[in-house]
Each structure stands twice: as structure tokens, then as C-alpha cells.
């Protein structure tokens, strides 16, 4: 069973609990706690519910149409990559964003917030968060979902060539 050890009722709604037996569930302060093999706790531990206060000042770029991005301030630590293999190409993406570029909506994603950014040799699928009131000149977060070799200017011929 879970034993309520203490609680503090502030903005973070912090509660301390103790898990005493496996495979039991108990509700404390609106939270469901479950113990099980590998989750056996015999010590007091904090459980914290936090609010992200930055989301009100950070806006996700959304559009079904291409968006002209002006030259923007963006730092390297604002980049989140889906896979480590994308990291060597981050400077190319940073260069494109800092110079200003067009963000083209990626239609297959159907979310209105995934854009293709074309660099010199790669095309990046990204989600962009910008500072509220910055007119897209300050990018706070870039999530790199995919990084593909650029195929711009390549012609694909299917079938037989008519030479």
C-alpha cells in the first residue's frame, strides 16, 4: 500500500508517498500511484507536478501554406534532434534559418506545424517555436524530425527514355 507521508499545497502540488507493497494502486491528491516488481520503493520520494510557464511566450508555427521566415536569431542549444545522426547537419539548418528562408508545410504530416526547410545539401523536416511578438525573428526551439539529402533540381524519369 502507499502511505501518504506529507504534502505541500502550493503551485507545484508536491506530495510525498511511500510504496510499501508490489502491484497495488492508490489515489492520493488526484494522482494514481502503482507499484510493481522493479518499482518497489522503501524510501520517501517527491512527486512533483509542474507547469511550463514558458509556453505562453513561445508559439508553435502553424500554417498550411508556405511561410517566409525572415533572418532569425537562433542558437545551437535551441535545436532538438530526433536522432543523433542528424547532428552533423545542424550547422546547415542554422545557416538557413539565420539567413531567412521559406518554410514549406509538409502535407503528409497533416498537422499544419511540420515544415520543410531546404538547406544547401539537405532538406530538414522541423517544428518551429518562436518568441511571441518577435515577428518570427527569434526562434526559441527547433525540433528536427527528419533530415534528408536534397533532391531539388533532380529530374526523375519513370519508364523508358524517349531518346
Q: DSSP string spanning 56-102? A: GTEEE---SS-EEEPS-B--GGGEEESSGGGGGGHHHHHHHHHH-EE
| Residue 158 covered by a domain | no
Query: What integer pLDDT is reported at residue 33 of this predicted model?
Result: 53
Which distant-in-sequence residues (6+ apart) come within 8 Å of 80 by Cβ? 141, 142, 143, 144
pLDDT of residue 110: 84
Same domain, 141 and 117: yes
- Confirm whether pTM is higher than 0.95: no
111 and 42 belong to one structural domain: no
Average pLDDT, the chain: 76
Same-domain pairing of 77 and 107 = yes
Q: What integer pLDDT is reported at residue 109 of this predicted model? A: 86
Task: With a cut of 60, say whether residue 2 has pLDDT above it.
Answer: no
Mean pLDDT: which of 5-9, 74-78, 156-160 is highest?
Answer: 74-78
Of 146, 148, 150, the residue nearest 82 (C-alpha): 146
First to last CA, the chain: 79
Whole-number pLDDT of residue 58: 86
Amino acid at each position: 500500500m502507499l502511505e501518504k507521508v506529507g504534502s505541500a499545497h502550493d503551485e507545484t502540488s508536491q506530495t510525498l508517498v511511500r510504496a510499501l507493497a508490489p502491484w497495488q494502486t492508490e489515489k492520493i491528491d488526484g494522482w494514481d500511484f502503482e507499484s510493481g516488481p522493479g518499482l518497489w520503493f522503501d524510501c520517501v520520494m517527491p512527486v512533483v507536478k509542474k507547469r511550463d510557464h514558458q509556453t505562453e511566450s513561445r508559439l508553435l508555427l502553424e500554417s498550411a501554406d508556405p511561410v517566409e521566415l525572415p533572418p532569425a536569431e537562433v542558437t545551437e542549444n535551441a535545436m532538438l534532434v530526433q536522432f543523433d545522426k542528424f547532428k552533423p547537419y545542424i550547422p546547415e539548418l542554422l545557416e538557413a534559418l539565420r539567413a531567412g528562408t521559406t518554410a514549406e508545410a509538409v502535407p503528409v504530416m497533416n498537422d499544419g506545424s511540420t515544415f520543410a526547410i531546404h538547406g544547401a545539401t539537405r532538406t530538414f523536416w522541423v517544428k518551429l517555436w518562436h518568441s511571441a511578438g518577435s515577428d518570427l525573428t527569434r526562434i526559441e526551439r527547433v525540433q528536427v524530425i527528419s533530415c534528408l539529402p536534397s533532391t531539388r533540381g533532380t529530374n526523375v524519369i519513370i519508364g523508358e527514355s524517349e531518346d
